[in-house]
Chains A and B, each alone.
Chain A
Amino acid sequence: MTKLGMVIDLNRCVGCQTCANACKMQNNVPMGMLWNRVLTEGSEEMDGVSGIYPHVKKKYIPVSCQHCENAPCVKVCPVGATYKAEDGRVLIDYDRCIGCRYCMAACPYNVRVFNWTEAVRHPGFNYGDSKVPVRKVGVVEKCSMCKERTDEGLDPMCVVCCPAEARTFGDLDDPNSEVSRLIREKNGETLLKEKGTKPQVYYLGLS
């Protein structure tokens, strides 16, 4: 079996937002609806720190769909629009999505975004990979681990563009894959482990 996943090394993440823009571009994501956000621990402001000067820490954490093995969004979707694909991705069938947003409420990672109105795009045209479907008003969208690229053997755009080489994509079921090796050797951990969602995005240097 294949179980696609990603490893993000927080020791290397410099919070540059390149992954966020790469994802936005590749997937034609409109303004205000990032699929990939870079959060800062301990601060509600961008690029903040935790602690009191000079005893401060700065830590960035990029968050997008965790492609959970036990995905709460899949369970609550009343129409089967959000589903777990055979290769381990959590995907959305935009044609089936009825916009109830139960999945958004269920997702503990807040990584889903909703098309409340006609998308606002700057520039005002569909940019990005032409194979990525355009989403209409009333549907939910989120990271697909760049299905249109990875199905063709390419890395997701965030992995390709990360200037600090903090991201690795691969098959978690293959013990010889780079992602498996990193998780094993460098103590890969998942977010909100206690929720039992079993994310397929692992972080190095999380704790």
Chain B
Amino acid sequence: MKISRRDFIKAGAVGTASMGLSGSLFSSNKWFQPVSAKGKSQEKIAFTYHTTNCGGRCAFKCTVRDGKLSMIQPNTWTDKRFSTVCLKGLSEIERIYSPDRLQTPLKRVGERGEGKFVPISWNEALTTIADKLKELKRKYGGKSILFSCSSGIEYTYPFLPSLLGAQFAIESGIDIGLANGLEECIGSKAYGYVQNETSDWVNSSTIILLGCNILETTLTDSKFFFKAKDAGAKIITIDPNCSTTASKSDQWIRIKPGTDGALLLGMISVILDNQWYQHDYLVKNTSSPFLIRADNQKLLKQNDTHEGSTTNPYLVWDENSNSLKPFNAPGVKAKLEGEFTVDGVKVKTVFTALKENQKQYTLKWAAEKSEIGEDIIFELTRDYATRGPAVLGWGFGGGDKWANADITGHSGGILGALTGNIGRVGGGVGVALYHGTSWSAQLSSWELPSQFKATPLEMTTPDMREKPNSVKAVINLGNTLQQHFANLHKTEKWIKQLDFIVTIDPFHNPSVDYSDIVLPACTAFESEYDIVNMQINRSHVLLSQKVIEPLHESKSDFRIEKELAAKLGLDQYLPKTPEEYQKARLNSPDPRLKGINLNTLKENNCIMRLQVPDEPYRGYMDQIYPTPSTKLELYHEKLAEDHQALPTFEEPGEASPNNPLFKKYPLQFSSAHTKYRVHSQFTNAKWINQYQPEPRLEMNPLDASSRGLQNGDLVEVFNDRGTFKARCLLTEAYRPGQIRLHEGWWSKHMAAGNLQNVTNDVLNPRQYKLRYGPVIPYNDTLVEVKKV
């Protein structure tokens, strides 16, 4: 590293040099006055944790001085490796006192979206909401009300949707693109998280991070990354751009955006061609020996008119008897490969079909698609398949938000199965962020009388903008109107024709401006109650206490739900206090919760480890999967008519050179997650804005020079859906052809528009059949950029 003194002097972007020499040195008469110590103050300590959904789950020891949150330190976890914080947690010292706080309930006086409000009393606000909801329920039924919840809301109004018979949505179509494919193999419903805890990485020989920027988006897990590296794991990051994670890995492989699936398909072929697969694992633990009927592409079962299961077993070709047998019959030795004729119908094993399907996906093909060298893919595959336990980890913001993500996820599941890396110490396939996998326990729930039931979500919320549905009112918890939909102009048309919109949040976020009534909620640090919330995370139970009194006229989410229920005449069914609620949840027979109650939690800094083994959590070590067959299911019958029973590559929905639109809009636009924010939260945190004060459109200098752009120019990003404006930031970290604006910036921070004006909202019809429904392909977006 070559560093000169000048480097330090000019590096004043945040700090000294930029303070300049303004201000008169001699104008102050205060210099010679002694520095006084702070006066005597009252201090107290309280414990809470970060509820917002970065997944870092910092737990805080808070110092409150004279009623003000003055200091945040990492609380001490039983497992001290989790005793940490990051810049976002620390920035709460300022953020909770932000001028962007909603201070009183508001009533809209201008047009929706205009942002004109007048303050009203809580009584007027709650009465207005309750009257309107009662009227809608009477006229159209509870299903006409949609609770649309941001992922950063911890207290998700668990009772009102049931009391009203309303619909409830959280993140429809988000973070599930890859999970759709992977979990069809595994049978789980866990947002596609890896099977093993991140702390198990020390047992891995190879860790492949595919579009997974853990060192920026899960800062609190960065120590596990380095521990794995220290323990000898080879960490390979595949990313179009030089992310921090790429820069700290043993190898950075650059991939063409939108081709993650092509790379994984190529890897499958390399494994098959070189016979690096685990034959016995495939026979024993996967559907590889199941038989596919040539006539209808269905799997052969004992009774073909019913769905397959352990009681209507799939059939395999038994080597011992040279005949068909149920896959789960005792003593059966299933053939992995082969074609057979059964009652005049040709059948072949899933594995044989996979081999045939993979013939089109040669190493050369994968290299051309992904723009990664053949030798690099070959070595990558060898590292993955032959060096021992290996992780294939991905994120939510890379390959996930593309129309072809399910194919990538499916291919990942097959790679894990071929190499025996699912249900293995040091293995795992899936989302490797947010410490999403750890020991857990079953909390009890607070039961409402049986007449109160929420209406199941009629359709994925993006479709509510276009398809006939029952929703007349939206209760927006957080900032879902900006964040949970691509193509904001379409969203605006929808929300402008709704009967009623309420937003409940601590901050005046962009969704607020569309709302008829706005309620100011407390942050995670404020409450009227001494006990506030509780959750199980990272194998511990975390309790949150009141740190400070509610600021301004805000109320806690618990209190708001309670008071709204009272206006509806239904609050008698709710717990009286959060303490009563949390006590009820802890009143569980689960042995992992033994000895953990509110008293013992308070005695232990509000954190206690579950009664679980002192080792990383590892899933499916018994090789029993929640699929119909209990095996890893590699062949997805229901997608046969879509030609996706086995993964078949598909170009991105929009951001592909094969798309005629590419001529007009040749740049792929990505709106990735940043360490500086959690989606749209912390966008207004002044302590963080020191480092990233404004939205900057990142692009490679090559893409800039061909458009006559210089670093810092104000540019317009546009496509047929809309436009936004921001200053550009030229960086060699970024792959030519792809541009990026970190997601979450509020409209008021933009030079003009909102990044969601351009994002792609075209859903992939095939994915309606999958467990999470279609993914919103935010990153599968083409744009052009021009100087303003």
Contacts and interface: CB of A to CB of B under 8 A. Distances in A.
A110 B11 contact: yes
A58 B19 contact: no
A192 B9 CA distance: 13
B296 interface: no
B5 A56 contact: no
A114 to B, nearest CB: 7
Contact of B1 (A98, A124, A164, A207): A207
A61 B1 contact: yes
B254 interface: yes
A16 B94 contact: no
A90 to B, nearest CB: 16
A206 interface: yes
Nearest to A46: B691
A201 to B, nearest CB: 13
Nearest to B215: A14
A56 B242 contact: yes
A165 B226 contact: yes
A63 interface: yes
B90 A136 contact: no
Nearest to A133: B35
A57 B252 CA distance: 11
A99 B25 contact: yes
A48 B687 contact: no
Contacts of B73: 157, 160-161
B33 A136 contact: yes
B5 A108 contact: yes
Interface stretch (B486-494, B598-606, B638-646, B726-734): B726-734
Contacts of A207: 1
Contacts of B8: 39, 63, 108-111
A127 B71 contact: yes
B567 interface: no
A175 interface: no
A49 B33 contact: no
Contact of B16 (A94, A111, A122): A111
Contacts of B68: 123, 125, 127
A53 B76 CA distance: 42
B215 A137 contact: no
A152 interface: no
Nearest to B91: A21
A25 B219 contact: no
B3 A24 contact: no
B31 A45 contact: no
Given A22-B90, A112-B16, A163 B223 contact: yes
Interface stretch (B79-87, B355-363, B589-597): B79-87
A156 interface: no
A172 interface: no
Interface in B245-274: 246-248, 254
Interface string B688-727: 1011100000001000000000010000000000000000
Most chain A CB neighbours (cut-off 10 Å) among B9, B215, B690: B690
Most chain B CB neighbours (cut-off 10 Å) among A20, A26, A130: A130
Interface residues of B, number: 78
B16 to A, nearest CB: 5
A147 interface: no
B15 A16 contact: no
Given A18-B87, A33-B15, A53-B733, A24 B687 contact: yes
Interface string B723-747: 0000001011111100000000000
A59 to B, nearest CB: 6
Contact of B93 (A10, A114, A123): A123
A58 B72 CA distance: 30
Contacts of B16: 33, 104, 110-114
Given A109-B8, A191-B3, A161 B14 contact: no
A110 B732 contact: no
A54 B254 contact: yes
B216 A14 contact: yes
B15 A44 contact: no
A117 B15 contact: no
A37 B223 contact: no
A160 B254 CA distance: 35
A206 B31 CA distance: 39
B631 to A, nearest CB: 39
Given A31-B686, A53-B700, A139-B31, A163 B219 contact: yes
Contact of B9 (A56, A59, A110, A135): A110
A153 interface: no
Interface string B655-699: 000000000000000000001000000000011101110000000
Contacts of A3: none
Interface string A58-101: 11010100000000000000000000000000000011011101
A134 B19 contact: no
Interface stretch (B36-44, B406-414, B537-545, B557-565): B36-44
Contact of B38 (A20, A134, A160, A191): A134
A145 interface: no
Contact of B222 (A14, A24, A122): A14
B30 A136 contact: yes
A130 B15 contact: no
B7 interface: yes
A15 interface: yes
B765 interface: no
Contact of A116 (B4, B22, B90): B22
A161 B19 contact: no
Most chain A CB neighbours (cut-off 10 Å) among B13, B37, B93, B692: B93
Interface in B585-644: none
Contact of B242 (A16, A49, A164, A165): A49
Contacts of A22: 85, 90
A165 B223 contact: yes
A44 B730 CA distance: 11
A206 B687 CA distance: 28
Contacts of B10: 44
A130 B43 contact: yes
B345 interface: no
B94 to A, nearest CB: 5
B90 A122 contact: no
Contacts of B286: none
Given A46-B691, A52-B732, A113-B19, A138 B31 contact: yes
A44 B222 contact: no
Interface in B9-57: 9-19, 22-23, 25, 28, 30-38, 41, 43
Contacts of A160: 73-74
Contacts of A192: 3-5
A21 B10 CA distance: 21
A116 B23 contact: yes
A126 B41 CA distance: 11
Given A24-B687, A139-B31, A163-B85, A16 B18 contact: no
A109 B41 CA distance: 36
A201 B435 CA distance: 32
Contacts of A137: 28, 30-31
Interface string A33-50: 110010101011111111
Contact of B17 (A54, A110, A126): A110
B140 interface: no
B675 A16 contact: yes
Contacts of B7: 39
Contacts of A52: 732
A177 B146 CA distance: 60
Given A32-B15, A139-B35, A163-B86, 19 more contacts: A14-B248, A18-B87, A22-B90, A25-B90, A39-B11, A49-B242, A54-B242, A54-B254, A56-B732, A58-B246, A61-B3, A63-B8, A95-B34, A98-B31, A101-B25, A110-B9, A111-B16, A139-B31, A192-B3
Q: Which 7 A-B pairs have the closest CB atoms?
A: A138-B31, A58-B247, A123-B97, A116-B23, A21-B90, A110-B8, A94-B35
8 contacts: A32-B19, A33-B16, A39-B7, A47-B244, A110-B11, A110-B12, A128-B70, A130-B38
